[in-house]
Amino acid sequence: MLLSILPQVLVDGLTLGFMYAVVALGYTMVYGILEFINFAHGEIFMVGAFVGTEVLLITDAIGALEGMNPYVALFMTLIITMILTGALGVGIERLAYRPLRGAPRLVPLISAIGVSFLLQDVVRFTEAIARNEFYLNTPVLFSGTVSVFGIATIPIKGLVVIILAIVLMIALTLFIGKTKWGIAMRAVALDPSTASLMTINVDKVIMLTFLIGSSLGGATGVLFAQNYGTIDPYIGFILGMKAFTAAVLGGIGNLRGAMVGGVLLGMLESLAGAYMGPLTNQAFGAEYKDVFAFSILILVLLFKPEGLFGEAVKEKV
Amino acid sequence: MANLVWKSFKGIPLYVTLIWIAVFSLLLHFLDKSVLSFLGILSSIVLLYFTNTSNKIKLAIGALVLIVIIPLVAGENRYYMEVASQVGIYVAMALGLNIVVGFAGLLDLGYVAFFAAGAYAYAIFSTSQANEFIAGNLFPLSGDWFWPFLIVGLIVAAIFGILLGLPVLRVKGDYLAIVTLGFGEIIRIVFNNLDKPINITNGPQGITPIPAPELFGIKMGTPFYFYFIVLFIIAFIVLANIRFEHSRLGRAWIAIREDELAAQSMGISLLNTKLAAFATGASFAGVVGVIFAAKQTFIDPTSFTLMESIGILVMVILGGSGSIPGVILGAAFVTLLQVQLLKEFSNFLHSLQQSGIINLPNQLDPSKFQRLVFGIMLIFVALYRPNGLIPAKRKTNDLGAIKSSPFSSGKLGILSKLSQSSSTKQS
Amino acid sequence: MAILEAVGLTKRFGGLVANQDVTIKIEKGSITAVIGPNGAGKTTFFNMITGFYEPDEGEILLAGKSIKGLRPDQIATRGITRTFQNIRLFKQMTALENVMVGTHSRLSAGLLGILFNTKRIREEEEKARVEAYQLLEYVGIEHIANEAAGSLPYGLQRRLEIARALATNPQIILLDEPAAGMNPRETVEMTEFIRLLKKELDLTIILIEHDMKLVMGLSEYIHVLDYGRKIAEGTPEQIRNNPSVIEAYLGKSATEVS
């Protein structure tokens, strides 16, 4: 009985985990370069979900969605969303974070918390004015399921999420590893002042980091909306926390760590959600699954703050 | 230029403040339900702070306004007293968080958990809820128990603070914000679900009826009484804040805020010092939680969300992190903004809507502007006024008093070696 | 008698060996310099002595007792204090308060005592204030007692940092580049002052410094680190003529030329 649902639980966990992984990349990239927790990153993801949904809703309203190939529609949505959320991320950095570089560490964090709340309400207002409603249903592009070895069924939309997440991660890895700008990013992450001596424009690198991180976050928002069908302005907060946990779990500042951490956390959370109830005689059920994720965050920070893949760093004295 | 004007500003003349207080008191007395004059009286406390007179006179006038004038002219109006006690509750909480964030520099985003601990401590044991898990049908308790429970709430929250702090405070810097946020959420979720396996918190249904305080047989359930209870607690917390600020512990808090490494090399134990800050801040929230539970007569987990923690943080940061008058101002301003100004604005828009001038979707009701307002405030303060409205200022020491101190007769500390060795140079 | 003994200290950061088998003995009441080119591991050595880094191998003895593995604050209360290469003051506090923080571990006030403001606490505070003021006088900056530490000019900040360190009532003081950024006149003053500290306050002094004039004029004994290892020790005279030291500083060609 418990075992028979296992394949399904794993598939759900995998879908969730890949979304955490891509969002976690945004946290980890910014942290790697600025040592700053971009608290608003979860909200960028949320904005992505709304932008994507609006693109689809508008396309549908003008009657263009019906005849469109769903893959083309998704591709178009992703591109538009990534451009817009990327620009949003860059704008936030420019206006709310850059003036605070060099300020005491808590100050930019406070600004980021502010941006996070501001975005939630701005989206809510915009939707309330435009649609008189801020819980939106996304036009879901993919229906149907695929059977895997006859033991689990994967909805096609879940499969799309997983495959696109993997594509995004590969693209990012190639970019960081092979291109001039990727190398510049790594150099700035290692040592900003030396990098600037090597004529690397640190400001541009930071801008690029926010551009890439935010567009990845926005893209994940689109995938999230496709996978779950409904969105609201508050989805970014919890998902952001989880993605941050994933980044910490994998070792903050480490890209591969964020990917592995995300998938791992998604799996663990899915397993906990499915089995905690039955195993504790329903005393502690799925309602504790957020507690479970937060507990992982706290345990990792306490016992292995460098995460699974990070290197222990000592504060400079 | 602006700075020059500010420097030459010696403070508001005393008579202006007195006239202000008199005018608004009379206005409030004669005009029924004048929100503006009520705000006028409350803001006279701010005016008083900037008045050019001795601290003793300020204290006397302030006490007069708070203890005599406000209850006298607004005491019969339930609503004003309710607003005033709400302001007081947030002032008290913000002053507690000020110790953690302002003094010790620990960004705690889960502060409301301690408030919840105090509130639930009183709620569970003062209602029949405790019978669910304690045999003997001993509960509910009468309202007389409110008073000892102020201490119980303080201790429970302090223990909570230490238990949470022990693991959490080992975490560095900005991670602490995320971890406390996580812990705050965990506690809320736990309170929300602890109706099984044993029903301790009654879960999402919440707990009611929580008895009002009672003293010598008088039921003190109205906002009028709560106003005085809150005032008493604020007086205590302000006194504690002032004493801590310039004490051995206060200096240690500020030292770790400014530079953890240097603080350690001065012999300050990071964990102990941070724990002291956490427990102290928590205990104040616990006391206020007890009052809150008694005032609301009903509590459930929705009163203890992240938004509450953020709201209190906004008060501290807007007012001036580490600045006692600043934090009081910030708390009063934000609370009034929420419970009165936005609501008034909301009512105003509704009246426009009813007369058909504008069409306002329900979602745009300004009373729901909370996140927007908090968000803008946080960004604004971070960018333009990182030290808040009234920045913290370290007290200057009276050097004359130091020189004339009886201890000045001999050399102290390591310098006592000077008198032993035959020193040649020393003025 | 050696008051402080570091025996075989090794510290690694990932693949980098910052200190390798460093053994240094410090005589009570001496002025010892630890020198070496940039990146030689001098500050790492200081950080191990003061508890900020725990050595991977080796032992640290203070008056014969191990202090290895203790936290920085515990080491500070045992009488070892330090200043920092890049001055770490509590910027928003006044100069006087900065020094008062140094008295922390010798004061006893706890939460309740402070809350009730007992007579004992008030006296203790007054005494700490007087002591802090005397220390400011001693380093010659009592006129800025009420200024915020962060607003002071560089030279005064250096002095304030030393006054603050003295307030912990140390036996040993570690000075990390005390004359960095000072002009020649200020450097001479600092040299005189360090000598005074030793003579008047009976302090054992260990310093890291790049200014060779200061090092050679001031220290009684010198240890030289290079690439994390100790390559020489001796009196200033011996160090001046030690070929491996010259090589470390100037490269191999220099020794060949000379």
Strands A230-231 and A152-155: unpaired
Global confidence as pTM? 0.90
Name the neighbours of C, counting chains with at least 3 Cβ pairs within 8 A: A, B
Hunting for tokens 């290469």 — which residue is that? C85
Mutate to test the interface with B, among A46, A294, A317 (most CBs of B within 10 A): A294
The topology under which CATH files domain C86-169 is Rossmann fold (3.40.50)
- Domain edges within chain A: 6-303
Q: Per the CB < 8 Å rule, is B247 touching C199? A: no
Give A6-303's CATH code, choosing from 1.10.20, 1.10.3470, 3.10.660, 3.30.70: 1.10.3470
**B229 to A16, B213, C135, C182: CA distances (angstroms):** 50, 10, 46, 59
Helix, strand or coil, per DSSP, at residue C89: coil
Would you place residue C75 in the very low, low, confident or very high pLDDT band (cuts 50, 70, 90)? very high
Whole-number Å distance between alpha carbons of B292 and B283? 14
Least Cα distance to B304 among B85, B89, B179, B120 occurs for B120
State which residue of chain C sits closest to A311, comparing Cα positions: C14
**Which bin fits B199, alpha (ψ -120 to 50), beta or left (φ > 0)?**
beta
- Residues in chain B within 8 Å Cβ distance of A96: 379, 382-383
- Asked if B375 reaches chain A (Cβ–Cβ under 8 Å), the answer is yes
Q: What are phi and psi of B54, to 5 degrees?
A: -75, 155
How far apart are the CA of B279 and the nearest CA of chain A, in angstroms? 19
Which of A66, A20, A62, A13 lies closest to A42, judged by CA? A20
Q: How many CB atoms lie within 10 A of CB B36?
A: 11
Select the residue of C91, C111, C130 nearest B407 (Cβ to Cβ).
Answer: C130
Q: Tell me the chain B residues in contact with residue A41 when contact means C-beta distances shorter than 8 Å.
A: none
Locus of tokens 């009286």:
B41
Strands C221-226 and C31-35: parallel
Total residue count of chain A as it appears in this document: 317
Substitution target in A193, A254, A306, A317 with the highest count of C β-carbons within 10 Å is: A317
Asked if B172's CB is within 8 angstroms of A117's CB, the reply is no
Task: Confirm if C152 and C160 have CB atoms less than 8 A apart.
Answer: yes
Mutation target among B99, B243, B251, B423 for the C interface, most CBs of C within 10 A: B251
- Scan residues 139-168 of B and list those with Cβ closer than 8 Å to A: 167-168
* A278 close to B146: Cβ distance less than 8 angstroms: no
Å between C242 CA and nearest CA of chain A: 31
Query: CA–CA distance from B279 to each of A272, B161, B163, B322 (Å)?
Result: 32, 5, 9, 17
Tokens 């033991």 belong to residue = A151
* Percent helix, percent strand, percent coil in chain A, to nearest 5: 75, 5, 20
- Burial class (CB within 10 angstroms; exposed 0-12, middle 13-18, buried 19+) of B142: exposed
DSSP string, C94-133: BHHHHHHHHTGGG----HHHHHHT-HHHHHHHHHHHHHHH
- What's the start-to-end Cα distance of chain A, in Å? 57
- Name every residue whose Cβ is closer than 8 Å to that of residue A150 and which is 6 or more positions away in sequence: none
Q: Which residue has the higher pLDDT, A254 or A119?
A: A119
ipTM: 0.92
Tally of CB atoms within 10 A around B74 = 23
Closest to C6 measured CA to CA, from C68, C60, C72: C60
State the Rg of chain A over Cα.
Answer: 20
Which residue out of B172, B242, B265 would a mutagenesis test of the C interface target, given it has the greatest number of C Cβ atoms within 10 Å?
Answer: B265
> Do the Cβ atoms of A317 and C14 come within 8 Å?
no
Q: Which residues in chain A are contacts of C43 at CB distance < 8 A?
A: 317
Cross-chain residue pair C52–A311, CB shorter than 8 Å: no
What are the C-alpha distances in Å from A133 to residues A129, A232, B114, C161?
8, 10, 35, 60
For an interface test with B, the pick among C77, C82, C97, C138 (most B C-beta atoms closer than 10 Å) comes out as C97
Cβ separation C47–A317 shorter than 8 A = yes
Cα angle, residue A25 at apex, residues A22 and A26 outer, rounded to 5°: 105
Q: Which residues contact C229 (CB under 8 A, 6 or more apart)?
A: C20, C21, C22
Planar angle of CA C176, C177, C182, nearest 5 degrees: 145
Bridge partners, B164 (sequence order) = none
- Residue in the structure block whose two tokens are 């923080």: C101
Which residue type occupies B70?
I
* pLDDT tens by residue, C217-231: 999 999 999 999 999
Beta strands in B90-195 (DSSP E): none
Residue type at position C87: I
Chains in contact with chain A (at least 3 beta-carbon pairs closer than 8 A): B, C
Q: Do C47 and A311 touch (CB under 8 A)?
A: no
Choose among B105, B167, B378: nearest Cβ to A114: B378
Task: Report yes or no: B285 and B83 within 8 Å, Cβ to Cβ.
Answer: no
Q: How many CA atoms lie within 13 A of C106 on its CB side?
A: 24
| Nearest alpha carbon to residue A221 among A47, A36, A9 | A47
Beta strand spans in A135-283 (E): 136-137, 145-148, 152-155, 230-231
pLDDT, average across residues C157-169:
95
pLDDT at B357: 74
Nearest CB to B415 within list C82, C107, C135 = C135
Handedness of CA A8, A165, A237, A104 (dihedral sign): positive
> Which residues are within 8 A (CB) of B31 and not within 5 positions of it... i.e. 6 or more apart?
B37
Put simply, the chain B residues between 206 and 265 with a CB less than 8 A from any chain A CB are 261
Distance from CA of B93 to the nearest CA of A (A): 19
In chain B, residues 2-21 whose CB comes closer than 8 Å to chain C: none
Name beta bridge partners: B253: none
Q: How many CB atoms lie within 10 A of CB B13?
A: 12
pLDDT tens, A59-70? 999 988 888 899
Both tokens assigned to B331: 């708390």
Between helix B14-30 and helix B55-63 the angle, nearest 10°, is 0
- Cα B97 from Cα B89, distance rounded (Å): 13
Contacts of A314 in chain C (CB under 8 A): 13, 53
CB neighbours (10 Å) of residue B323?
A: 22
Q: Do A114 and B105 touch (CB under 8 A)?
A: no
CB contact under 8 A, A311 and C53: no
Token pair of A215 as six digits: 């567009």
The whole-angstrom separation of Cα C258 and Cα C253 is 9
Residue C165 has pLDDT above 90, yes or no: yes
Nearest residue in C to A315, CA atom: C52
pLDDT surpassing 70 at residue C254:
no
Highest mean pLDDT among A224-233, A276-285, B172-181: A224-233
Secondary structure letter of residue C173 according to DSSP: E
By C-alpha distance, the chain A residue nearest C47 is A317
- Band of the pLDDT at A230, cuts 50, 70, 90? very high
Q: Residue with structure tokens 């009672």?
A: B214
Would you kindly state where each structural domain of chain C is located, as residue ranges?
Answer: 1-79+171-258, 86-169
Say which amino acid occupies B231: L
Long-range contacts of the stretch B324-328 (C-beta < 8 A, 24+): B324/B95, B324/B98, B324/B238, B324/B241, B324/B242, B324/B245, B325/B49, B325/B390, B326/B388, B326/B389, B326/B390, B326/B391, B326/B392, B327/B91, B327/B94, B327/B95, B327/B98, B327/B102, B328/B45, B328/B91, B328/B94, B328/B95, B328/B238
Task: Write out pLDDT tens, residues A68-105.
Answer: 899 999 999 999 999 999 999 999 999 999 999 888 88
Could you tell me what percent of chain C has a pLDDT over 70?
97
Nearest residue of C to residue B281, measured between CA atoms: C111
Closest CA to B74 of B19, B44, B34, B22: B34
Could you give the 3-state DSSP secondary structure of residue B209?
Answer: coil
Pair of tokens at residue A201? 């424009």
* CA nearest to A104 within chain C: C91
Residues paired with A145 in a beta bridge: A155
Q: Which residues lie across from C61 on neighbouring strands? A: C5, C66
Strand partners, C35: C224
DSSP A284: S
For residue C84, the chain A residues in CB contact (below 8 A) are 317
Residue C234 DSSP one-character state: E
Nearest to A311 among C14, C47, C53 (CB): C14
Give, in degrees to the nearest 5, the angle at Cα A170 between A167 and A172: 110
Closest CA to B284 of B292, B295, B294, B273: B292
Tell me the CATH number of domain C1-79+171-258, given options 3.20.20.140, 3.40.50.300, 3.30.70.100, 3.40.718.10. 3.40.50.300
- Find residues 204-233 of chain B whose CB sits inside 8 Å of chain C: none
- pLDDT lower than 50: segments of chain B: 1, 423-427
Which pLDDT score is estimated for B45?
87
Task: Answer yes or no: do C133 and B402 touch at CB < 8 A.
Answer: yes
State the burial class of residue B69 (Cβ atoms within 10 Å of its Cβ: 0-12, 13-18, 19+): buried
